[in-house]
Amino acid sequence: MIRSATLTLPPTIQSIADNSRLRLLSGNANVPLSEEIARYLGLDLGPMIRKRFADGEIYVQIQESIRGCDVYLIQPTCHPVNDNLMELFIMIDACRRASARQITAVLPYYGYARADRKTAGRESITAKLVANQITTAGADRVLAMDLHSAQIQGYFDIPLDHIYGSPVIIDYLLAKNLPDVVVVSPDVGGVARARAFAKKLNDAPLAIIDKRRQAHNVAEVMNVIGDVAGKTAILVDDMIDTGGTISEGAKILRQQGAREVYACAIHAVFSPPAIERLSSGVFEEVIVTNTLPIPKDQWFPQLKVLSVANLLGETIWRVHEENSVSSMFR
């Protein structure tokens, strides 16, 4: 069962239901999340036709007038990544040609983000390429959750609101009253994320796993910097893909004497063999959010899925009403 965030509905949000200029549209990537967001805002998702031609080409038609409206297109670019990304471009183009006043691409998960800089010769920076394509398609602004790196915000020449799903996970962990907590970054690159997480988790101490990556999706864990013996270790990352990094991290934490190990991530990408690794018994719980759809055949006993729908809905309301977004995370 997916647990909703604890955000309460502001009284002023009731006015949105009567605001004929606000429209929510959803792609096929994560319709349940889009429906939750719509319920939070007291709206219905706009009617659309989304289908494929016999050769696989995607067709989109919006079934109501959006002329002069502020349109929010909800579409995480998850598996199948290329199909969902292309559907997003087509929806943006359809809204632009339908004379929408402003088009906001709401990306609970931003795909192609891991290639955000050149680490070797003759590589593409796909995070920048996708940003260019979204802008060229006709989006006026972007709302993204937990980008793989903060620098991706600078790849856009249009406004981007970057929000974080960590408050939902932190509220859940605080309610559990876990003893002797230490927050652990699975690699050096995630230290800033883990430090911010630890600060909001009652200023918990921080540990770092020194990791040497030999190839994409292959990680070799070396050692732990910090004291985890006898403590409840909480591994924090932005995503879990194949689960190699975080499961190897959990094993070395156990070897270093950690009493319990929890895994926390916003985006549950869960590419094979993630489920086998995560359900192998090294974690007490694997805590993720519903930015990406998780098929029922990928659920396992240790999995806990929290909803970020209220958080995204609140952000959409604030953007639409031109209120502060950053104040939500202070």
Q: Which residues are catalytic?
A: 211
Q: How far apart are CA 66 and CA 70, in angstroms?
A: 8
* Residue type (1 letter), 212: R
The DSSP code for 47 is P
65 exposure class (CB count in 10 Å sphere: 0-12, 13-18, 19+): exposed
- Phi, psi for 311 (deg, rounded to 5): -65, -45
The helix-helix angle for 31-41 and 309-320 (nearest 10°) equals 60
Q: Which of 137, 74, 90, 127 is nearest to 292 (CA)?
A: 74
Helix (H) / strand (E) element for 205: namely none
Helix (H) / strand (E) element for 125: namely none
Q: How far apart are CA 167 and CA 96, in angstroms?
A: 34
Q: How far apart are CA 282 and CA 248, in angstroms?
A: 9
